[in-house]
Chains A and B, each alone.
Chain A
Amino acid sequence: MFKFFNPSKIFLITSKAPKYVMILFVMVFSIGLLEALIFSPEDYKQGDSVRIMYVHVPAAWISLGIFSSITFLSLCGYIFKNMNLFLIAKSLAPSGLLFNIVALVTGSIWGKPTWGTWWAWDARITSMLILGLFYLMFLIAWRIYEDKEKVLRITTIITILGIINVPIIKYSVDWWNTLHQPASINILSKSSIHSSMLFPLLIMTAAFVLFSLLIFLMKYNTELIKIKNKGLDRL
């Protein structure tokens, strides 16, 4: 089942892929910026401040998506004793944390003109902050623990505990009275966002996905070279 996850085979792809992903990212990001800052209309209520949505929302989506992926990979890695899945999870975490921070900061900037405050201990914002703490704990655990078995166990526990927070983030705006607006985009039902705003939002999401992929590839290659460095010492 995990023959596909053979690092030697993966490295043949991951060592060459960053160049193409980088080119694609620059192209998609440039189109996304043009759409978000120039071509998309202003909101009838929020005016031009709505443009912050084009970085805030994709960042939040990707942060949640990456954490869910990390949990799945860590869990599978632990059950099937596959170290490579842990390496993939570890390589995904930095971009997940980065987009978590971007979502929090841009949300705070958007909050000032919209709500009149930079920060509120609102359910959605607080649960996003907690997700950031789980990302930090995950990355710090990889740094501080030397024992391989211990680090795999601890990071898996962190992700399992952290994943409980993901549905809380998603449904916090429905479960509690929050300053944060409810979701405008629904996969299963009709979205309340106009296509002229949905299009740039999806383009920016694609750009951020490509950036996460680029960072993942670079990080994963670095991790494999680290392992190979240890291998040379043993020769």
Chain B
Amino acid sequence: MISEFLNMNGYGLYVWSAFLFTFISITTLFLITKIQYVKERNKFLSKFGALDSKKAETAKSQIINKEILSSNQFI
């Protein structure tokens, strides 16, 4: 039964390769985007860490900076 399902009446190679290509493509784009995000966030965190307390306070007063620094980030 499983081999019948995989074979798909002779079209298995075409169907599975199309679905596999789609799956690999979306996974790759997700990972690339995630890596870029993590890289920029880490850059931000290290730059923020290097600021003196006065500048850090000023930076922290901005909504976006506060959000980036919060640990609620998913990716």
Contacts and interface: CB of A to CB of B under 8 A. Distances in A.
A interface majority secondary structure? helix
B47 A49 contact: no
A21 B51 CA distance: 34
A117 B55 CA distance: 63
Interface string A81-100: 00000000000001100100
A55 B58 contact: no
Interface residues of A, number: 50
Given A113-B14, A229-B47, A106 B40 contact: no
A12 B18 CA distance: 37
A218 B36 CA distance: 9
A41 interface: no
A235 B37 contact: no
Contacts, number: 125
B63 A109 contact: no
A150 interface: no
B interface majority secondary structure? helix
Q: How large is the interface on B (under 10, 10 to 19, 20 to 34, 35 or more residues)?
A: 35 or more
A183 interface: no
27 contacts: A9-B63, A16-B72, A18-B74, A37-B19, A47-B8, A47-B9, A48-B8, A48-B11, A52-B14, A52-B19, A59-B22, A94-B29, A94-B33, A102-B22, A106-B22, A109-B21, A214-B30, A215-B29, A215-B30, A218-B30, A218-B33, A218-B37, A225-B37, A225-B43, A229-B43, A232-B51, A232-B59
Interface in B26-51: 26, 29-30, 33-34, 36-37, 40-41, 43-44, 47-48, 51
B74 A19 contact: yes
Contact of B25 (A8, A52, A102, A226): A102
Contacts of B17: 109
